[in-house]
Structure 1
């Protein structure tokens, strides 16, 4: 769906949409179900259940066009109990709708924090009213999908913050190394200078530079490998082992091994304690 800075880690939102369509195929009265992600106001259909042809596959529904375009634009469910006779929608997609034998159609937007991110459709192969009882399962599916996308957005936001923090840490390390090189060079110069007053000044500057790289005392000097940091960062976000494995392209057993190693290093017995201990020691933000 919407592009994020963490596309490599983020599971496909369209897979979540397809899962909701599969659920609806057994829990709703609609024999035809389809939907897709919304990008720049247009919906590209990518999920289907109960369709008899490929005529809808890959179809792009433009903003404010057709029943779905209107639902996306107005961010509310739209119903056409007699689709082809409806006068409150445009009819750019009549050929595709007719190709699936759909006579009555429902379109429901998936809205996340005020932005339409996807649309779900339910179609009947007969002209008949679509009442609240029929609409309710699709509304629930829309709410579940919106919540799932919102959670993924939040995880991506937090992972982005961790990435930025890691980048700042790398820059700080590089700067610390340069300072170390500088005060070591000053020490060598001080040793070669005959003028004691100049040597004393050099040693003073050396001590000042050295103080910039001194670390504050901590409970331990534990070091995490890059992969251990990745795993622990996701644990801190509330991710389970399966999701961490998916995001980091690891097996679940490998993730469990990293966690066992982490808990041994931190001398704790639970995931929550590992996060608390890591934060206490400055290993996590």
Structure 2
């Protein structure tokens, strides 16, 4: 699978840019003077990110799953190290020419695994034969985990965008459809608050706003203004959440949630939570 081959190619930032960013960060936080990596495409790793290299010999190189140290790491989904690369008997030596051309004597390969599927690989190289222990391996493994988490979030965005594409606006929806849309924009908001990459966070917020716009099925004159927090509370009520659960999800006190509910019911001119959800959907405030 190509890392950025999705149904959301226009909006999704390049996953390879995220890989290169991890390599840049590693160049100042690891003991490896040579760092490189690439995405998994059609059963192979294509090298596309580099830090500390002296030549172009590794650029664009494709590593098959059953070849070399990286192929073994990707296939077995675990870090693999070769302290004396050229003397190693545990790997094939299909890429010795390229490794030697970069002056690498010791090599580490770490797979990037997302939900059981290898999506990329990161490499660290030394220009001397040296043992590669846990202290050296750990920063690269952490970078792999961060990249895996980033890709997983982007995959979730694409899944939600796919849902959006199939959810044509219309006046009437089933309760199941309404809940799926509500759950989607709430999930996107939570992800936007957690992700470190501002470009991805902005994308998440944009998709969330688009999903929320699906609720606008009633004329403007029939709608009332809700604050962002009132909308959040009302959305969770529509999913059947009780006050304590809403308070926990939104990091509010239960009393604050109750205050929001009183304000909502006053604005909607209703006397219960169920009526508030019904009236909100009627006015086009919820999907």
TM-score bin (small chain): 0.5 to 0.7
Q: TM-score, length-normalised on structure 2?
A: 0.66
Correspondence list, 1:177-216, <5 A:
none
> How far does residue 162 in structure 1 lie from its aligned partner after superposition?
2.0
> How far does residue 269 in structure 1 lie from its aligned partner after superposition?
2.5
Distance in 2 (CA, whole Å) between partners of 1:128 and 1:56 is 21
Distance in 2 (CA, whole Å) between partners of 1:249 and 1:53 is 40
The answer for the alignment partner of 2:153 in structure 1 is: 151
The answer for the alignment partner of 1:23 in structure 2 is: 25
Structure 1 unaligned blocks of 5 or more: 174-212, 216-232
> How far does residue 38 in structure 1 lie from its aligned partner after superposition?
0.6
> How far does residue 50 in structure 1 lie from its aligned partner after superposition?
0.5
- 32-41 vs 240-249, greater mean Cα deviation: 240-249
**1:275 to 1:8, Cα distance in 2 relative to 1, 3 A:** farther
Equivalent in 247, 258, 273 of residue 230 of structure 2: 273
The answer for the alignment partner of 2:141 in structure 1 is: 139
Distance in 2 (CA, whole Å) between partners of 1:266 and 1:27 is 52
Distance in 1 (CA, whole Å) between partners of 2:33 and 2:119 is 24
SS at match of 2:7: coil
> Which ranges of 4 or more aligned residues in structure 1 deviate by more than 2 Å?
233-236, 239-250, 272-285
Correspondence list, 1:1-285, <5 A:
1=3, 3-166=5-168, 169=169, 237-238=188-189, 239=192, 243=200, 245-246=202-203, 266-270=224-228, 272-275=229-232, 277=234, 280=277, 281-282=280-281, 285=287
**1:242 to 1:7, Cα distance in 2 relative to 1, 3 A:** closer
> How far does residue 244 in structure 1 lie from its aligned partner after superposition?
6.1
Structure number, greater radius of gyration? 1
Distance in 2 (CA, whole Å) between partners of 1:50 and 1:149 is 24
What whole-Å deviation, never above 9, does each CA across 1:168-212 have from its counterpart, x for those lacking one? x46xx7xxxxxxxxxxxxxxxxxxxxxxxxxxxxxxxxxxxxxxx
> How far does residue 43 in structure 1 lie from its aligned partner after superposition?
0.3
Alpha carbons 1:83, 1:105 under 8 Å: kept: yes
The answer for the alignment partner of 2:259 in structure 1 is: none
Distance in 1 (CA, whole Å) between partners of 2:70 and 2:226 is 53
Distance in 2 (CA, whole Å) between partners of 1:92 and 1:234 is 48
How well do the aligned residues superpose, as a CA RMSD in angstroms? 3.3
Alpha carbons 1:14, 1:37 under 8 Å: kept: yes
Alpha carbons 2:4, 2:12 under 8 Å: kept: no
Distance in 2 (CA, whole Å) between partners of 1:89 and 1:164 is 47
Number of aligned residue pairs: give it: 216
**1:113 to 1:244, Cα distance in 2 relative to 1, 3 A:** closer
> How far does residue 7 in structure 1 lie from its aligned partner after superposition?
1.7
> How far does residue 125 in structure 1 lie from its aligned partner after superposition?
0.3
Distance in 1 (CA, whole Å) between partners of 2:205 and 2:157 is 14
Structure 2 unaligned blocks of 5 or more: 174-183, 214-219, 239-276
Alpha carbons 1:81, 1:103 under 8 Å: kept: yes
